[in-house]
């Protein structure tokens, strides 16, 4: 089993507990806003000047609670990734989506966006969750590279016999450095990285059923 530094375990434990509190906070906001919406619907015939503003505000709250829920899910997965049962192997389909969620902000700061195509089934790999998150996030950083002002990073997963892959198509105009590929390869350990000039693929060994 790979070793995890006590510092990483500490950060994971504290973050997981804090995320649990955040989840309760979001749940209270959602139900409270939902109740206000329910009351407006029950009193649909009662007109008042600011009804449209209130309805619009409630829609904003719902939208951003959903957004927060996505971030919470991804951060919780990050926090739990040093758990013992996630060190030996995990589902690439789940953690590829987590990489996409966690890197949204990073990509948006470059004026770009992430477009993630989810897998249709589980893709078990013999690589720890934390390793996938580290390599995946670094790959997104590399993919947006320098010189990007807009565009889309397209992420998907590809199933294979010996390896499953996380695939990234950088936005047009991004300038990637070759040294970055060496760093990525060092993060992959038993996997490998491929760059064909247009698409980056991180290959992770398939976890064979015992």
Partner 1 sequence: MDKSAWNILLVDDEVEFISTLAERLEIRGIDARVVYDGEAALKAVAENEPQVMVLDVMMPGIKGLDVLQRVKEEHPKVQVILLTGQGKTRDGIEGMRYGAFAYMMKPLDLEELIATLGEAMKASQGTPNA
Give the chain as a 3 state SS string.
Answer: CCCCCHHHHHHHHHHHHHHHHHHHHHHHHHHHHHHHHHHHHHCCCCCCCCHHHHHHHHHHHHHHHHHHHHHHHHHHHHHHCCCHHHCCCEEHHHHHHHHHHHCHHHHHHCCEEEEECCCCCCCEECCCHHHHHHHHHHHHHHHHCECCCCEEEEEEEECCCCEEEEEEECCCCCECCHHHHHHHHHHHCCCEEEECCCCEEEEEEECCCC
Give yes or no for residue 19 binding partner 1 (CB under 8 A). Answer: yes
90 near partner 1 (CB under 8 A): no
Regarding 28 and contact with partner 1 (CB under 8 A), the answer is yes
* Position among 18, 32, 117, 172 found at the interface with partner 1 (CB under 8 A): 32
Interaction between residue 65 and partner 1 (CB under 8 A): yes
Closest distance of CB 82 from partner 1, Å: 12
Q: Which of 2, 8, 10, 27 binds partner 1 (CB under 8 A)?
A: 27
Q: Which stretch binds partner 1 (CB under 8 A): 24-32, 47-55, 107-115, 202-210?
A: 24-32
Count of positions on this chain that bind partner 1 (CB under 8 A):
27
Judged by CB under 8 A, the residue of 2, 9, 14, 38 near partner 1 is 38
CB 83, min distance to partner 1, A? 8
Minimum gap (Å) between residue 153 Cβ and partner 1: 24
């Amino acid at each position: 089993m790979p070793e995890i530094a006590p510092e990483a375990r500490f950060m994971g434990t504290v973050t997981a507990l804090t995320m649990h509190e955040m989840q309760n906070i979001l749940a209270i906001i959602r139900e409270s806003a939902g109740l206000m919406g329910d009351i407006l619907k029950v009193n649909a015939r009662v007109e008042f000047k600011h009804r449209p503003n209130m309805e619009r505000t409630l829609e904003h709250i719902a939208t951003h609670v959903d957004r927060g829920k996505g971030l919470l899910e991804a951060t919780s997965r990050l926090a739990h990734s040093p758990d013992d049962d996630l060190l030996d192997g995990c589902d690439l389909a789940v953690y590829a989506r987590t990489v996409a969620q966690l890197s949204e902000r990073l990509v948006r700061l470059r004026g770009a966006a992430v477009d993630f195509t989810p897998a249709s089934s589980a893709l078990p790999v013999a690589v720890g969750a934390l390793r996938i998150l580290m390599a995946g996030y670094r790959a997104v950083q590399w993919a947006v590279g320098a010189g990007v002002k807009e565009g889309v990073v397209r992420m998907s997963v590809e199933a294979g016999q010996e390896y499953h892959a996380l695939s990234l198509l950088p936005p047009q105009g991004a300038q990637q450095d070759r040294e970055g590929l060496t760093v990525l390869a060092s993060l992959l350990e038993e996997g490998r990285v491929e760059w064909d000039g247009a698409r980056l693929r991180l290959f992770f060994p398939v976890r064979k059923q015992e």
